[in-house]
A and B are shown apart, each in its own frame.
Chain A
Amino acid sequence: MNQTVVSFLAQYEFFDFLTKIFGENSLLLTTLIFLIFSVAFVAVAATIGGLGTYAERKISADIQMRMGPNRVGPYGLLQFLADGVKMMMKEDIMPRTADKFLFYLAPLLCLLGVFATLAVLPVSSGFTLTDLNVGVFYLIAISSLVGLGVFLGGYASNSKWSMLGGMRGASQIISYEIPVTLSVLAITLLSGSMSFGKITDLQAGFITNWFVFHNPFAFLAFIVYFVGAMAETNRAPFDLPEAESELVSGYHTEYTGMRFGFFALAEYIEVFVVSAVAAALFLGGYNLPFHISIDFLPIQFVQLSILVGKALMLYYVVIWARWTFPRLRVDHLMSVCWKYLTPIAIFNLVGCAVWMVAFNGQSLAQLIFGH
């Protein structure tokens, strides 16, 4: 049975009070709770995405010894709000020859794909919207909507820059899904489950229980996952779909105002999502380094901040990589995926399977230090 936020809240006393008002198994109550939590998730994710643009500019400024945004609000923190207001005030231009329906749909598909992944994001043991049995699989599946949005955005604009960018984006996202999925499969093999909750619970305890340190193959799988995820989210050095030196701005060249904002926001939220997934699958997720009873409600917020903290550290690495490495060439990009990452990922998968059989599922630390 799938654990959801509703079934988590049902164990507390105030829930009895709510069931008295709404009645047992009420449709309204379930919908309401899901609605409140979904809106909260989306709002927080959008804020993180917005702050991501600020962090990107600030960190890049730091790397290049500049100041970065520092006028709007303390340390320029409110810069992203000003940007958002500016984007909303802008004129909404659509090229005359564009495919109207697809042009409007594409940014929304991008956002939909990213927001749909939030449903299984394991932010804490209770507040996860729903802990699906096939959570990891669902997340990989639904995030391919982003690729579709990128592709349709490029196609619908009816401009050659956009078209090239969209085609590059679609082929890149489809290609890099393979090493990413194979690396995730290695973790599924180690944990014997596709549910985020169970995968995270298996990593409870000290740092040596994290799957990234489980065996050497899992460590490699983490690196392959991270590189692949960076390419899947179109981040530099893999940002060929929007390579501004060759394609103006790639698939969103023709988009103005908030429609462009949707693409940008989707990208930044997706980076956060893949960082959080990396944290949950490889870096112990929301677990505290010591055992504690999770029945106490404020613990949920501690777990929440632990996961978000880990995700933001990886987020920093993604931004850091963007301002450090030069962009790849298209043929290099494809050969990195198909000739290097995919064989390495398959090797990791087989290696993990052999490790599980050879050492009876024990991790490296267990073998060295005993139990």
Chain B
Amino acid sequence: MFLNTLFVMSALLTVVSAVLVLTTKNIMHSCVFLLGSLIGIAGLYATLGADFVAATQVMVYVGGVVILMLFAVMLTGGKDFVSKAQNLMGLAPTMGNAWTYGVSALVGLVFLFTNIQLLTRLGTMSKLKNDGAFESTVNKIGHLLVKDHILSFEISSVLLLGALVGAAIIARPRKQ
């Protein structure tokens, strides 16, 4: 019951912030609302028993991505970036061709049917056992990462190292 309440609160935070991200005109404010949405998602993970994923969500998005986004927005114009081009309805027809509209319609249909599937199962899903006694996922994730998925783990770390070195090379002052 306690977890259900927290789940509903996190879901509300996620949805309301997501709507505010879209409706607000100021791009800095959008970033801050996005922060609320991401924290809400972390709350959803936590109330569903995925404690490690929740903490990682906060770590990566709140501590890294949102701050980087704010930096990027600030260095490229900040609040002067209040865009007149956010008149989406007027601009939308000129922004794509038949191919892009076809793909997005397909994606929209898939999304719609997935949601219908989920919503029709709502009655059965709420009967899941949910007494707050979740098992910890940290140990399992750790074991899986360094045993079964060691190759993908190493490949992603090499990718990140490449990104780091690339960023250092781009930021390096050029010799004349």
Contact = CB atoms under 8 A, between A and B. Distances in A.
Contacts of A54: none
A27 B8 CA distance: 14
B19 to A, nearest CB: 16
Contacts of A142: 58, 62
Interface in B12-50: 26, 28-29, 32, 35
Contacts of B134: 1-2
A194 interface: yes
Contacts of A2: 51, 134
Interface string A167-206: 1001000100100000000000000001000000000000
A371 to B, nearest CB: 27
A142 B62 CA distance: 8
A266 B26 CA distance: 27
Range of interface residues on B (Cβ < 8 Å): 20 to 34
B32 A133 contact: no
B79 interface: yes
Interface stretch (B67-75, B96-104, B105-113, B121-129): B67-75
B55 interface: yes
A133 B59 contact: no
A132 B132 CA distance: 13
A87 interface: no
B74 A155 contact: yes
A25 B74 contact: no
Given A1-B134, A25-B1, A27-B2, A155 B70 contact: yes
A148 B67 contact: yes
B133 A1 contact: yes
Contacts of B136: 1, 133
B130 to A, nearest CB: 11
Nearest to A158: B79
B2 A1 contact: no
Given A147-B63, A148-B66, A155-B78, A102 B28 contact: yes
B62 A152 contact: no
B52 A141 contact: no
Contacts of B71: 151, 167, 170
Contacts of A344: none
Nearest to A192: B139
Interface string A106-143: 00000000000000000000000000111001101110
A27 B59 contact: no
Contact of B32 (A31, A105, A140, A170): A105
A27 B2 CA distance: 5
A141 B62 contact: yes
A256 interface: no
Contact of A99 (B28, B54, B135): B28
A159 interface: no
A243 to B, nearest CB: 20
A141 B60 CA distance: 8
A31 B70 contact: no
Nearest to B136: A133
A27 B5 contact: yes
A30 B2 contact: yes
B160 interface: no
B77 to A, nearest CB: 12
A141 B138 CA distance: 16
Given A25-B1, A132-B51, A155-B74, A147 B67 contact: yes
Contacts of B66: 148
28 contacts: A1-B132, A1-B133, A25-B131, A26-B1, A31-B5, A99-B28, A101-B29, A102-B28, A105-B32, A134-B51, A137-B56, A138-B55, A140-B59, A141-B55, A141-B63, A142-B58, A144-B58, A144-B59, A144-B62, A145-B62, A151-B70, A152-B32, A155-B28, A155-B70, A155-B74, A170-B67, A174-B67, A177-B63
In the A-B complex, the 9 residue pairs with the closest CB atoms: A144-B63, A141-B59, A141-B58, A133-B136, A27-B1, A134-B55, A137-B55, A30-B2, A138-B55
Given A141-B58, A194-B138, 17 more contacts: A1-B132, A1-B133, A1-B135, A30-B2, A132-B51, A132-B55, A133-B136, A134-B54, A137-B56, A140-B63, A141-B59, A141-B62, A144-B58, A145-B62, A148-B70, A155-B74, A167-B71
